[in-house]
């Protein structure tokens, strides 16, 4: 299929090594000495220098390099290469787009090479599972019992099954977040569970559960009853703080339907009041999504019309400064129109300097570069919409080789 690239295509049967011509110090003109002046570059470079060079290649090119020869394969498979790779600046985050609502199949987009790759995700069974990512690791949780929990590396396919999280097994709402460290290679997983108090629509039990990869144990540092608000399915960990969105349940005449709650993971206090950390969102939003962009909290959301908040008139991006939201950008109208039939439901995901936005109803993918303040369409995804109710969604992750659960 046009535009599609498989990992297999990065494993050619044979690739001729690059050749470098060296000027001879003598003025010999015989053919034999001229041939001797052509030397394969990989025979000249020592292993440590070749490792450093290869570590700067895009992920897909590293896979391809491993198929050049036995020496290169051993180099990119070594622990020392993984260490060199970890010292290189993070590669641009990829975006995995699910192309089926029943099976976890799809394509991953590489913005550096502007290519789509057909890859298989480990562990996940359907595309409606909860998904969170950080520093090359992806955490997934089933959407039924919410007791199946995995952490994996989508590139290396390494995975780990975590023990069942504590608390209510069948909560009404759950939000999943993960935070990994590229220095210690440890990670934390946070789940915010919310369940309606029996017989009381306005009160909701909310609990926070944290998994530490170092101790391999779960903790439940805080539970609280919220009145007029409930938890949802959106959370993120940023600079040691857990952020999650809460939603108004009515009865209080509240102007906004959304709010932000924070919880400090460093202190893990069991005596703080979550509702006292409440931060209002900047406007009436739909599809609010939280993202960690270089330890800054960023939110993407559909801006509702004043008279009909369920219908969006545009999409905005904000960064949290203290307790105030500062608008970074608003999607230009030509891109907003480019999604075609764009209702109030869309997906967005981001990390590092990139934010991806797509409509659930089409495979079109829009990329916003926060650093350059630039909007652009991705390369066309190698899949087309086959029937009217076909839905598309996805998530972004950093392609890393050295991170393992």
Report pLDDT for 55: 81
Cα separation, 243 vs 209, whole angstroms: 13
pLDDT tens track for 122-136: 898 888 899 999 999
pLDDT at 283: 84
Is the Cβ–Cβ distance between 275 and 258 less than 8 Å?
A: no
Going 348 to 349 to 355 to 361, the CA torsion angle's sign is: negative
| CA dist., res. 274 & res. 289, Å (int) | 20
Structure confidence at residue 4 (pLDDT) = 53
Fold of the domain built from segment(s) 42-87: Monooxygenase (1.20.1280)
CB proximity list for 183: less than 8 A, separation 6 or greater: none
Buried b (16+ CB within 10 A) or exposed e, 218-236: beebbebebebbbbbebbb
| Extents of the domains making up the chain | 42-87, 90-397
Predicted TM-score (pTM) of the model is 0.84
Q: What percent of the chain has pLDDT over 70?
A: 85
pLDDT value for 71: 83
Instruction: Give the per-residue pLDDT at 289.
Output: 95
Sheet holding 130-134, edge to edge: 130-134, 137-141, 149-152, 159-162
Fold of the CATH domain 90-397 = Neuraminidase (2.120.10)
How does pLDDT run across 330-358, given as a tens digit for each residue?
999 888 877 755 556 788 999 999 999 98
Answer whether 42-87 and 90-397 agree in fold: no
pLDDT score of 37: 52
Residue 316's pLDDT is 93
* Residues in the chain, pLDDT under 50: 1-2, 6-36, 252-254
Where does residue 216 rank: exposed (0-12), middle (13-18), buried (19+ CB within 10 A)? exposed
* Per-residue DSSP letter, 308: -
55, 28 Cβ separation under 8 angstroms: no
Q: Are 127 and 98 in contact (CB under 8 A)?
A: yes
């Amino acid at each position: 299929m046009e535009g599609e690239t498989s990992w297999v295509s990065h494993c050619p049967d044979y690739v001729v090594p690059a050749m470098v011509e060296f000027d001879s110090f003598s003025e010999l003109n015989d053919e034999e000495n001229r041939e001797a002046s052509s030397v394969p570059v990989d025979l000249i470079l020592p292993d440590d220098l070749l490792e450093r060079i290869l570590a700067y290649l895009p992920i897909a090119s590293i896979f391809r390099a491993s198929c050049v020869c036995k020496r290169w394969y051993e180099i990119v498979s070594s622990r020392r290469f993984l260490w060199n790779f970890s010292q290189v600046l993070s590669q641009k985050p990829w975006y995995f787009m699910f192309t089926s609502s029943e099976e976890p199949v799809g394509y991953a987009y590489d913005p550096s090479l502007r290519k789509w790759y057909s890859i298989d995700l480990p562990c996940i069974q359907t595309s409606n599972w909860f998904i969170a990512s950080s520093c090359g690791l992806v955490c997934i949780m089933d959407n039924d019992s919410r007791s199946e929990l995995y952490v994996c590396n989508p590139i290396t396919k390494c995975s780990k099954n975590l023990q069942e999280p504590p608390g209510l097994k069948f909560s009404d709402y759950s939000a999943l977040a993960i935070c990994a460290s590229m220095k210690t290679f440890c990670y934390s997983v946070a789940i915010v569970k919310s369940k309606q108090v029996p017989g009381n629509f306005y009160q909701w039990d909310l609990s926070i559960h944290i998994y530490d990869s170092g101790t391999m144990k779960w903790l439940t540092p805080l539970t609280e009853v919220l009145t007029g608000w409930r938890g949802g399915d959106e959370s993120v960990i940023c600079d040691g703080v857990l952020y999650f969105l809460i939603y108004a349940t009515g009865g209080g005449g509240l102007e906004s339907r959304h709010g932000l709650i924070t919880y400090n993971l460093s202190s893990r206090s069991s005596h703080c009041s979550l509702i006292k950390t409440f931060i209002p969102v900047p406007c009436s939003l739909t599809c609010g999504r939280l993202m960690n962009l270089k330890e800054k909290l960023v939110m993407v959301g559909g801006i509702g019309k004043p008279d009909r908040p369920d219908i969006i008139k545009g999409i905005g991006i904000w960064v949290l400064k203290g307790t105030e939201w500062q608008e970074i950008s608003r999607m230009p109208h030509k891109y907003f129109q480019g999604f075609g039939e764009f209702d109030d439901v869309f997906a967005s995901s981001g990390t590092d300097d990139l934010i991806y936005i797509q409509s659930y109803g089409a495979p079109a993918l829009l990329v916003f570069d926060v650093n350059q303040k630039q909007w652009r369409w991705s390369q066309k995804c190698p899949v087309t919409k086959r029937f009217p109710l076909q839905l598309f969604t996805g998530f972004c992750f950093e392609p890393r080789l050295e991170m393992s659960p």
